[in-house]
Structure 1
Amino acid sequence: MKILSIEFIYLMLIPSLVLLYLIITNKSELDRIFDKEVLNRLKIDMGMDKNTRLFLLFLALFLMIFALSRPVIQKGVVEIESKKTPVVLALDISKSMLAEDLFPNRLEFAKRKMEEFIKKSKDLEISLIAFAKDAFIVSPLSSDKEAILFLLKNIDTTSITLQGTNFLSALETASMLLGKESIKNMIIFTDGGDKEDFSREINYAKKSGLKIFMLAFGSEKGAPIPEDGRYIKDKNQNIVITKLNKNVESLALETDGEFIVASSGVQDITKLLNSLKNYKKKIAKQKVTQQIELYPYFLAVALFLLFIVFFSIPSRKKITYILLVSFVLTTDTKADIFDFKNIKKAKEHYDKEKYEKAIEYFEKVAKSKKSSQSFYDLANAYYKSGKYEKAIKYYNLVQTPNKRLRRYVFHNLGNSYFMLKDYKKAIEFYKKALAIEYDKDTEHNLELAKKMLKKSNQKGSKKENKNKKKNNENKEGRDNKKSDKEGKRSKKGGDKSKEKKKIKGNKSKKDEPISQREEKKWLKMIQNIPQKTLIYKNETKNRGDFSEKPW
């Protein structure tokens, strides 16, 4: 065991000992007036005496101080490798972005698109800047999506007074933020401003190693720019119409980037994310010490002791009883902790298709919990490992009022019986599952089970007919021995009967709906690709505050 913040013990223990000394040496008014023997005779037994109460109080205080010092058990050092792609997002906040040819305007539409990009991105280190005439750093490179989204949402653009769109300023800021990074990706959310020649910006981007991706906003028809309830006018008092400037496309294409016009769907963001995947990620190695925190246990005992101290407990016997109960509860808590670990390990092995290992851990949980969920998980593991009889046993132990879980159990029971070639039972459970709730997979499996049952019945009747035919042939053989003379007399006729038998045999072979070889091939295919086993997951509500507006 190691203590991470030992200074708390030094700082808190000395004042605590001083306080303990003052309390012990300080006598009450009764102790000063009356003799100790007289007090013992007059005193009514209230359960816990003063010294016991003080001892428990300071023991609780010491345990809380010890919990503050963070005791841990260290398991070893692990090297973690993380792969990240650095990218700078630049938002154009110039006045032209207030045009309303996109709902509610270009700027708000661009902010929504940027938000969508951040939420869907993976393995990205994102920096956020806003620019118009000058560029402003909103956030440095960070993997904290929530923080970046918060900063994006709170960019104040209600009093934009900056005119013009200075791309060079944005490029310089991005280059500074990315520094010596081997990968320098930049995504600009803009309407392109009104500039025609971007050769200066292209030269700077190439020199700095920046790859520019552009998500463009606006329409070819254009729209006026609202300001104070009116529209911005030029020197000749004509209303300014701002359009999407496609000249900015050269800045993206000349730097090996991509130019995408924003749309109301998600295909533009998907395309942007796919483009970034083509670039190498920087690999950062970090050593992390694995450790188990012990402070909750010390804190729990301290709180329990405080409960005993501050609430009247009639006798010492009850203290012993409570301690005993707390020990049992602690044991149960430990059992829950172990169950949690076993479930986690079982799930990891199950996801890696190591079903034998998963069974080992699921069995421990089922033995401890004996709950419907634990039996269901264990049954699934048995099914996946090909032990269908065992799977059926544990599926039958699942007793639950949850309709969805019951449907899953019936579906999986149907699958188990299907794999055991008990198609009647499989059909029965598939029907039970469909009676609770319709499911496409269950219906497909039901139809397949019906076909297999029909094939199985046809095969059985075929075998029965073959046996009958054999018996008839034996009977004919006995009759032929009795009539040798008749057989010798018509050799030609005998040849004809053989020919008839051959034709009859060929006809019966032709009438077969499916050959034995094809049937074996089909069954082998089904066994190699088992039917989908439905896994139960608890439903969770979406707690996001994303407002669905037509932007």
Structure 2
Amino acid sequence: MSILYPSLLWFLLPIGVLFYYRSKQITDTIQLIVLTLLLVALSRPVVDQGAQERKVEAQEIIIALDVSYSMRADDIAPNRYAYAVQTIESFLSKNINDNITFIAFTTNPLLLSPPTTDHQLISLALKSLRLDHILTHGTSLEKLLKKVSELPMKEKNLILISDGGEEREDTILNSIIEENGIRPIVLAMGTTRGSTISKSDGSYLKNKEGNLVVSRINPLLKRVAAENSGTYITPKGSPEATADALQEALDAVDAEKQEISKMSHSYLELYPLPLLVALLLFLLVHTRGVKYLILLAALFGSQANASFFDLFTLERAYNAYEKEEYNRTKEILGSLRTITLQSQVALANSYYRLGEYKRAIKIYQSIRSTSPQVKQMLYYNIANAHAKLHSYEKAKRYYTQALQLGEDDDARANLALIALLQEKKASLGIAHPKSQNSSGSNSEEKEQDESKERRSEDQPSSGSGSGGSEQKLNNREKMKLIEDKQSKQEQPLSSKIYEMINKGYIHEKQPW
């Protein structure tokens, strides 16, 4: 057994003092015991059930952030670096399953986070990084690209966030990018008019001749992106909008997702035991026990309350979906406090109906379930979305995966149609694969007859369904929640890290 929040147990010391000087009335003693049990419950005693391996599909992404002195310029408010950090935070929240590598660089690159799907580690690295500890003024894109080329990953999708390096010629940079299969997406953190750079003492940075230094965006960045089939992005109205632009550029790359293993710990919660004992003791010494029971339920039953309101919100989303108000459905689902399997399916279906097939695919691929029926439905939906995008090979692969999990007339018919369209090089605008919720589908008629018998808590819809299929779920299914993420304590970067950034003492052949 272990305690998740042991620091709360320090409050037992004043309770011990009160217990020593308590009156001899039994009521006071019981109240102190109740308070002790509540503190034990709040400290979250758990039994660690060990790490469990699960497979996830993830896209390899490398984020390289320029942390040189020029990133303190304020031509992008509040300054270039702060705007870049906010953009990265927003981007991480939109890519919950992708395998992301994080590099900070100036004249030398430093790997701050190896490939990981645990994006809280990257967020902690961002929050603990202090520009005041970084003394280098230059920026070397060549050294960064060489570092990226050494990373052991099949596809190198590089998101480069910088105001430009010291290089003036792009020949060497283009050579490194081409030889190593790097796909650049450049976020240009600067403007053509430029800006002065303020120092910590309020003065402005000057050169050796005593003139003010004005930092401008290096036009080399735009040439490198254009000459290597990359994307060049400038800051939008907000970091969130810029993160959306980065996501759109990444979706346009259409990179292959890889299946990786992810370890996650599971715990058996023990806090209900001391909480129940405390409740019983409390009711024993108070005549109006029901009143206090309601109070305790309000204090400790927030999760149940959240689930109830989420259930009501999900019903509203379904009603909007049935009325074909898909944008409204997205807004309602965005207000959910807890992400559920059912809400994710409904959100993906809404994107599908709106023609945003890449967004729909990304959400479908993020859904995890042990039910073969749910997996078959997800594979079928992903295949339909790829067919709409004319990605025939991917559509064929997902239709095949759906059929491997069970026979399905619609999936088989669509697979044959995709093969025919691919052979004739015809457009899907003439003949789209049929959706499983079309009126002539035999599988849907069969599904409607058997749906009540076949649905379970982990099965939002039986058989397979199209991207626009309507999920009819009972209340018990709507209450099922996905695993919550465990928070991590922020740790500051050590002085050795800054020394490595400033001086380039990097000897990491295989850091992972």
Please, what TM-score do these two structures have when normalized by structure 2? 0.42
Question: Which has the higher Rg, Structure 1 or Structure 2?
Answer: 1
* Larger helix proportion of the pair: 1
Q: TM-score of the superposition, structure 1-length normalised?
A: 0.40
Higher relative contact order (CA 8 A, sep 6+): 2
